[in-house]
Amino acid sequence: MSGDAAGTATGAAGSPAACSPAAGSHAANSPADARSLDAVEAAAWAMLEEGARSRHAAFHRMSLGSFGSGGFPEVRTVILRDADRAARAVRFNTDRRSPKVAAFKADPRCSLLLYDHEAKVQVRLKGRVQLHYGDPLAARLWSEMRAFSKSCYGQPVAPSAALGPEGGVGAENTEESGAGAALSAPPLDDRQSFANFLPVMVHIASIDWLFLCAGGHRRALLCYGDSPSRTWLAP
Ligand SMILES: Cc1cc2nc3c(=O)[nH]c(=O)nc-3n(C[C@H](O)[C@H](O)[C@H](O)COP(=O)(O)O)c2cc1C
């Protein structure tokens, strides 16, 4: 690890950060106490569970990487909606019309990156997605969802679709306004919106955990699957 990265483990006043639990971290599963690989796994899942539970948690947002169709890796932000330690899976929701869905049909492998600045913990997940089209899970989640959240899936224009010159700002419903007019079209009804709603489960293949601490960074790799393994790594 570079000196710059090590420097991120210093406190606000420039003094080395003590390896004590950050405010809000779970005392029983705090990164500072994660001195065994079992404890690292428990701490990682506790942070993922908290990320799914609280929109204020640093782990509520994840960077999702996939294989892009144009030859470039694609990365975008998604919200962590569920973390299931027993199933070794996390979930985000998306619109089935979005380009990432087509990419996942071609290759279900993905990476997820999460960083908690307060806790000084980075987690990198690798896994495979499972797309839950209109199945009982999707139906249950839809029935529990607030109208405001549902409205995201009721936009007539698909995510990432190119818009006309007026874009999404003040588009008038004229023939000339092209795709911009679609944004001012009435939202889709509940059945059509549900058809766009796609819960995506990521079955975790590995967890790469990095804890920055002035007293010594700690990094561990936990691999699941047919031949599970776990090891400390050089940070
Ligand atoms: C804070 C934030 C949260 C987001 N959450 C989601 C999400 O949970 N699901 C999603 O599909 N897109 C989400 N997005 C939008 C994506 O980052 C992305 O722009 C969109 O899904 C289109 O991605 P694609 O073209 O790679 O399919 C979020 C964006 C931001 C900035």
Among 59, 79, 114, which is best to mutate for testing ligand 1, by the most ligand atoms less than 8 A from CB? Answer: 79
Q: Is 122 in the pocket of ligand 1 (CB under 6 A)?
A: no
> For residue 23, is it within any domain?
no
- Average pLDDT for residues 174-199, to the nearest whole number? 72
Mind listing the pLDDT tens digit for each residue in 200-209? Answer: 999 999 999 9
116-164 tens-digit pLDDT: 999 999 999 999 999 999 999 999 999 999 998 999 999 888 998 998 8
Distance 76 CA to ligand 1 centre (A): 6
CB 217 within 8 A of CB 235: yes
Residue 63 and residue 41: Cα distance in Å, rounded? Answer: 20
- Atom of ligand 1 at shortest distance to CA of 160? 25
Query: 17-66 pLDDT, tens per residue?
Result: 456 545 444 455 677 777 899 999 999 999 999 999 999 999 999 999 99
Amino acid 19: pLDDT: 60
More confident residue, 14 or 83: 83
- Residue 30 Cβ < 6 Å to ligand 1: no
Residue 166: per-residue pLDDT: 74
In this structure, is residue 227 part of a structural domain? yes
| DSSP character at residue 23 | T
Per DSSP, helices labelled H in 54-169 are 99-106, 136-144, 147-151
78 lines ligand 1 (CB under 6 A): yes
Q: Is residue 8 part of a domain?
A: no
Residue 166 is assigned to a structural domain of this protein: no
User: Is the minimum distance from the CB of 74 to ligand 1 under 6 angstroms?
Assistant: yes
Looking at residue 117, its pLDDT comes to 96
Q: Could you tell me the pLDDT band of residue 5, with boundaries at 50, 70 and 90?
A: very low
Residue 13 lies in a domain: no
Tell which one of 56, 59, 67, 77 to mutate to probe ligand 1, the residue whose CB is within 8 A of the most ligand atoms.
77
Residue 171 domain-assigned?
Answer: no
Give the predicted TM-score (pTM) of the model.
0.85
Q: How many domains does the chain have?
A: 1
Q: Which domain holds residue 89?
A: 28-160+176-233
Indicate if the pLDDT at residue 223 is higher than 60: yes
Confirm or reject: Cβ of 73 under 6 Å from ligand 1: no
Question: Residue 105: its pLDDT value, please?
Answer: 96
**CATH number (domain holding residue 60):** 2.30.110.10
Q: Which of 67, 78, 81 to mutate to test the pocket of ligand 1 (most atoms within 8 A of CB)?
A: 78
Residue 219 tokens read as 């990094």
CA distances from 168 to 22, 163, 176, 180 (A): 41, 7, 14, 6
pLDDT of residue 214: 83
Those residues with Cβ within 8 angstroms of residue 202's Cβ, 6 or more apart along the chain or in another chain: 89, 90, 91, 92, 110, 112, 125, 127, 128, 129, 130
Task: Report whether pLDDT(230) > 80.
Answer: yes
On whether residue 169 sits in a domain, the answer given is no
| Tokens 């990682």, located at residue | 44
Per-residue model confidence (pLDDT) at position 143:
96
Residue nearest to atom 29 of ligand 1 (CA): 77
Local confidence band at 7 (pLDDT 50, 70, 90 cut-offs):
very low
- Asked if the structure places residue 223 within a domain, the reply is yes
Residues pairing with 201 in the sheet: 91, 130
> Which segments within the chain are labelled E, that is strand?
61-67, 73-79, 82-84, 89-95, 109-116, 121-131, 197-211, 218-223, 229-233
Q: Could you give the CA distance from residue 4 to residue 17 in angstroms, rounded to a whole number?
A: 14
